[in-house]
Structure 1
Amino acid sequence: MAGCLGPVTTFLAGLTLAVVPLAALAAPYPDKPIRLIVTFVPGGGADIVGRYIADKLSRSLGQPVIVENRPGAGGQIGVNAGRASAPDGYTLTLISSSYTVNPGLYSLKYDPVADVTPIVQVSKGPLILVSHADFAPRNVAEIISLARAKPGALTFASSGAGSVIHLAGKRFGANAKVELRHIPYKGGGAALNDVVSKQVDLYFAASASALPLIKAGKLKAYAVTSSERLPALPAVPTVAESGLPGYDVTLWYGIVGPKGMPADIVKRVNGEVNRILAQPETATKFATDGAAPAGGTPQQFASLIGREAKIWSEIVTKLGIKPD
């Protein structure tokens, strides 16, 4: 008997060692901090939304969600950093609608839907056409008249070449049949600062970053880019109402992960974000920033990305827009 115990003991010991890694693999998600890459600079609309969601997710998931700003190339630098990460749920990326503009402007080496893991749309809202407080035109019609009188003299800022703000300005110019000179920045914060300081004439601003400056009298609001007026600025018309029918640009933010994320982790993050978006506090916060909570399933978000990428690609081709 004693001679038989040796192999049995050895087998049991080996079984115990084999079970330990399996137990480690089975640790509930998340068991360490999560990185949220924000594809634009601190202080802009993306950063405001990203930090709000990161704070709420940290509380609901029980692990720190650390915001990492990776701006540049219309969001592509941050997107590529996220795509290159392990698909384990510990690196997420906050994208904006600029993500769907890039396929039409650049020769991307990835598919905007198939080569990421769409998780959830976070928010939606308009851009606001603004100028510095002393800009002479009183409305969109007068901006267009001035631009026609001085072709190429009026400038508009963007948060970067290839951003949805860049395309919003180009689309405005094409619809109005005027030439506006594009001045790209490395983020919305820098663009806004130069508009306020009168270095640039116009900007299609994210509402979250523009509203406080509008209310403080440092920016003049002319129109919102959505098909409906913004509740936070009920007296400000839409671009379509201002003489450019059919003009409609929506700014949204959403979360994606690297391609191949496990379905259970996608479901967990999607569920937690949807719960955050359903809270009255979130609706109030987003309304203050001129946006609304979105939410929904990963499949719905994937459909939105694919649909808008097609629309923007057609617009870029039709208008002959270049990345500058």
Structure 2
Amino acid sequence: MPDRQRRLALAWLGVLPAMLTSPAHALLQGYPSQPLRLVVPAAEGSAFDALARALATQLQQQVGRDVGVEDRPAANGMAAGEAVARAPSDGHTLLLQQTTFVAQPALEPASYDPLRDFQPVAMVATLPLFLAVDARLPIYSITDLLAQARGESVTVNCGSDIVGTWSHLVAEQFVRDYAFHAPHVAVRGEAGLVQQILAGRMTTCFACYPSVAAAAANGQLRLLGVTGGARSRFAPAVPTLREGGLAGFDRSAWIGTFMPARTPRLLSMRAAAELRRAVASGDVPATLRAGGFEPEWDAPDTFAQAVRRDAAHWQGVIRQADLRLDSGE
């Protein structure tokens, strides 16, 4: 466990004795008193769904109650948020979401406010993105890529998944911050992005490790950098984007849990403690890494700070770029 996570875990363990005093003890004594719901804004069979099911299985073993996963991908995942916002504030319903959850209001209207209507419980993972380039091109570093992109002789386009996804927001910021002449190109699905590069129709893209691993291993893609504040264990030889000279990309997407805003704080704290155990237990770490996620727990207070910070940042990126879900950008 990294030092930061160890300090957070010890701090939260120190809170537990206070949670066992009356009337807190009375509130927690029978919790959970019924099956738990983990609502997911993704389709069954997706990497996000697999992450949720691994967590649910482990949580079920820990708390002795059934933990059901509900996939609600409709309305670009907003159906999941709507279901949890309307749920009883009794600590038995959790929403599993990622960074785009707090950026989405700038793209389309929603019936809920992700900051006002939800209480952050805990972060459970991060999702680093790799900047990959066609290995047939003489681009060996981020410096090389930027030089090509700013030149007039070669068209360098940067691709991502569809509008509003995590890879799209990162690519949009990259293209605009670093003055690419060619526009950002959105392609549905990261597998499609890689195929576009291999076919010579795209220069570079942002994608998670499972999407680029095979092509990088066989020499078809070159990995120039990775988002986040530290190198990824998936490819430790690949520098962070900051190491490569790019400012503003020192955060990977977070994956975290939320409860309805009016849920008693003690219940969300108890859930956070159980999630801390779950993230490090059983098959959960391996399942997360298979989907490109890095297991990483963060406590409610610091996770809430990240949620607010990323809401301001990514909504700003969306508004500055004048992005809309039907914009095709």
- How many Å separate the matches in 2 of 1:300 and 1:152? 42
Normalised TM-score (structure 2): 0.72
Counterpart in the other structure of 1:320: 321
Asked if the contact 2:160/2:185 (under 8 Å) is kept, the reply is: yes
Kindly provide the amino acid, as one letter, of the partner of residue 181 in structure 1: H
The change in CA–CA distance for 1:95 and 1:212 in structure 2 (over 3 A counts) is: farther
The change in CA–CA distance for 1:91 and 1:293 in structure 2 (over 3 A counts) is: same
Counterpart in the other structure of 1:174: 176
Question: Structure 1, unaligned stretches of length 5 or more?
Answer: 1-25, 186-190
Moved more, 212-221 or 192-201: 212-221
- How many Å separate the matches in 2 of 1:286 and 1:143? 31
Equivalent position SS for 1:233: coil
- How many Å separate the matches in 2 of 1:125 and 1:56? 21
1:157 aligned to which of 152, 155, 160: 160
Counterpart in the other structure of 2:102: 100
- How many Å separate the matches in 2 of 1:218 and 1:40? 30
Q: Does residue 86 of structure 1 match 2:88? A: yes
Counterpart in the other structure of 1:12: none
Q: Give the RMSD, CA atoms, in angstroms.
A: 3.5
Counterpart in the other structure of 1:192: 190
- How many Å separate the matches in 1 of 2:33 and 2:220? 43
1:31 aligned to which of 1, 24, 34: 34
Counterpart in the other structure of 2:274: 272
Moved more, 144-153 or 197-206: 144-153
Tell me the alpha carbon deviations over residues 136-157 of structure 1, each in whole angstroms, 9 at most, x when there is no partner: 7444344445544478873512
How far 1:36 moved relative to its partner?
A: 1.7
Moved more, 80-89 or 206-215: 206-215
Counterpart in the other structure of 1:238: 240
Counterpart in the other structure of 1:52: 54
Residue identity (%)? 26
Asked if the contact 1:39/1:76 (under 8 Å) is kept, the reply is: yes
- How many Å separate the matches in 1 of 2:245 and 2:31? 55
How far 1:43 moved relative to its partner?
A: 5.3
The change in CA–CA distance for 1:285 and 1:213 in structure 2 (over 3 A counts) is: farther
Counterpart in the other structure of 1:228: 230
Counterpart in the other structure of 1:8: none
Which one has the largest radius of gyration? 1
Equivalent position SS for 2:164: coil
Kindly provide the amino acid, as one letter, of the partner of residue 320 in structure 1: A
Kindly provide the amino acid, as one letter, of the partner of residue 184 in structure 2: R
The change in CA–CA distance for 1:259 and 1:184 in structure 2 (over 3 A counts) is: farther
The change in CA–CA distance for 1:41 and 1:180 in structure 2 (over 3 A counts) is: farther
Kindly provide the amino acid, as one letter, of the partner of residue 157 in structure 1: S
Counterpart in the other structure of 1:260: 262
How far 1:227 moved relative to its partner?
A: 3.4
How far 1:304 moved relative to its partner?
A: 2.0
The change in CA–CA distance for 1:280 and 1:244 in structure 2 (over 3 A counts) is: same
- How many Å separate the matches in 2 of 1:208 and 1:36? 25
- How many Å separate the matches in 1 of 2:51 and 2:116? 25
Normalised TM-score (structure 1): 0.73
Tell me the alpha carbon deviations over residues 52-98 of structure 1, each in whole angstroms, 9 at most, x when there is no partner: 21221122122332333323565433222322333334432111011
- How many Å separate the matches in 2 of 1:315 and 1:289? 27
How far 1:245 moved relative to its partner?
A: 3.4
- How many Å separate the matches in 2 of 1:304 and 1:103? 17
Asked if the contact 1:88/1:262 (under 8 Å) is kept, the reply is: yes
- How many Å separate the matches in 1 of 2:61 and 2:221? 35
- How many Å separate the matches in 2 of 1:73 and 1:203? 26
- How many Å separate the matches in 2 of 1:134 and 1:69? 40
The change in CA–CA distance for 1:192 and 1:264 in structure 2 (over 3 A counts) is: same
Asked if the contact 1:128/1:207 (under 8 Å) is kept, the reply is: yes
Equivalent position SS for 1:239: coil
The change in CA–CA distance for 1:170 and 1:59 in structure 2 (over 3 A counts) is: same
